Every structure is written in C-alpha cells, then in structure tokens.
Structure 1
Amino acid sequence: MEHVKPLRADGQRNRERIVAAAAELVGRDGAQVSLEEIARRAGVGSATLHRHFPSRQALLEAVFRDGVAQLCARAAAQPGEDSSAELAAWLEELTVYTATHRGLAAALLTGPDGLSAEEICCTDMLLDVLNVLVARASAVGAIHARATAEDLMMLANAIAVANEGDPRAARRVLRLALTGIRP
C-alpha cells in the first residue's frame, strides 16, 4: 500500500464540509444530486471537490461509510449461536438501512470504482461481514449451499432499491425472499 500524505487542517475541513453537504443533499435528492450543488453547499470549488473525491462513487462511499461501519460492528458483536437467525436479522437491518438512505443501495450495486488506496470500501466491509455470516449459516445447513455473500448482497440491495424510502416494504419483501433461500 502506498503512503498517503495526511491532509492539512484546511484540507481536512474542506473534506468534512463536502461530506456533510453531500450527506444532506443526497438524503434530500438522492445519489444523483449535482456535484456542483454539493460543492456550492460546502463552500468549495468544483476542483476542490474533485481533488478530494475523484468520482461520485468515492463521494458516496464517504457519505455512507460511517453508517455501514456501524452495521458491520453490530454483526461482529453477534454471539454466533443461531447463524440462520443472525444472517436473516443482519440482512434485514442492511436492507432497511439502505432503503432509508437514498442512493446507498444503488451505489453499493455499482462497486468500488474511484476509491483511493487508503479508503475502505463500504461494499468490501459489507461483503466481509456477509462472508462470515454465510459461512456460519452454511456450516450448519441453515441456507442453500449455493447461496453466496455476493448473491445475498445483491438481493438485499435490489430490494432496497425497489423499496427506497419505504423501509416497511423493504423488510417485508426481504423476509419473503429469505424464506426462499432456506432449504
């Protein structure tokens, strides 16, 4: 991994203002909000925004990373006693979270393009957790042997995209889908 120079204080403030403005505007208008509008709201120029975030995907990753990290931490804290229930509960939490955070599910479906080496990708964090949960559930025969973490991620995100802004419907549809993955 290459060495990354830490940001100066003013650069760090600009980055934080960009992420805060993006979070507000993405929450209001969705992930396709104008990058120019985000820069204006943050009080920076377009070049400054692009210096910090080379792509829309990289900016969305930064906006959603904290919430996704919290989801991942909750999964890691599970006791591992009922792997099927833990997998289902965590997928439900992920689906509801992404359905209520406009643009996140679509961003996660597109992959980590545009991220710099020092950034941790939300998609990778989620897949790391899902791989553990799927392995546990598979080991006890609690899910179909061909179900993969990637499949379940795609399922959860597709349901969240289809039910964006309606977490109750997202939860209901995921529960229906999950009854189909159990043997």
Structure 2
Amino acid sequence: LLLSHGHHDHAGGAAAVAKNIPIRRLILPQEQPSADIQALLKNTKAQLIYAESGTNYSLGNTAIQIISAPVGSADSDANESSLIVRVVSADGSIVFTGDATETEELLAAGQIQPGQVLKVSHHGSNASSSMPFLAAVSPQLAVISVGAANSYGHPGSETLQRLAACGAHVRRTDQDGALKITFDGSQVKCYSYRYQKEFF
C-alpha cells in the first residue's frame, strides 16, 4: 500500500483497508503522521517504508519508481510532501501525483519519464498540472479524482485547457464514478463504474 500523503481524502479509508486486506509493505511520505495514518499504523504489521526520491521498488514484474518524496516540516501543508510516483510494467505506465503542488511537479519534471496515464494532481486544481510537467509526462489519458459539485470548483478550467493542449483524453470521477484502467497491448482502456459495471 502506497499513500501519497496523510490528508483525509487520500488516507481516510486506509485503516479499513488494512483491517480487511493483508499488507506486506507500506510506503509513506516523509511527514508527520496524520490521524488517519496513525489509525492505519495501528491496524497493520506491514513493513514500514518512508519513501525517498529516486528509490525503486519491485512488485512482481512491476516497478514502483519514487520520483519525488519531499520532506514535510512540522508547519508545512501535507500537499507539499505529496509523493510523485511512476508505476511501470511491460504493459503500461501510470503517474500518481497525490496533491503535489506546481513547485513539486516542476522539480520532478526533469526526473520523470513519460506515463501513459496521469492521475491529475490535487483534483484538477489550477495550482497544479503545469505545462512543463504535462510535457514531461505526456499522458494519453488523464484521470481527475474529484467530487461532484465540490465547493472548490475543481477541476479548474485552466487545468482542463492545459490537459487538452497536451493531447490527453480526460476522464473524471464526478462524471464517470469509479474508473478502472487496463492496458491491452499498447492501448489504454478506461471503464466507468457508472456506465460499464460489467467490467468491474
């Protein structure tokens, strides 16, 4: 189990997962553990790993590449310590960004290889997904995890414009519900739980 950072909307269900699914390794960001992370740690005996930039882990024939693992200070926002991770196998690659800020994305842009799928940072906030980062990742598919009619106005129109400009096909959880990504040869396929439950 890998968690980008400790905010409730990213780690809130982790303790329940640990109660129901055996976890062997737990990869966490370098930050003060939130209440959700503390609850998770009470429910697992997994090997605990604090992510470090440039570190790779293997999971079968899949590589988990920690591109960026900022060290959070006691007074910093957890978004600033979000991990940026590239998961790659022979079939395809996905880049996860948590709630990484534009600054963290720009620092990672020079270190990251392209990813066919991008989990867009910070629910599509205009404060992330800058063009240099999108150019480095060059995603075919961009997935935005975002609540319907949220009070923040996510995803931002500027982010949607940047994603369109880089040629990414955008899918959103507020419109499609849960999304399932599969790789079929060189093709990326995306299924919507709202409209294609038979694939789940």
* Structure (1/2) with the larger helix percentage: 1
Instruction: Give the structure with higher Rg (CA).
Output: 1
**Higher relative contact order, chain-length normalized (CA < 8 Å, sep 6+):** 1
* Structure (1/2) with the larger strand percentage: 2
Q: Do the two structures share a fold, i.e. TM-score over 0.5?
A: no
Q: Provide TM-score, normalisation by structure 1.
A: 0.27
Q: Provide TM-score, normalisation by structure 2.
A: 0.26
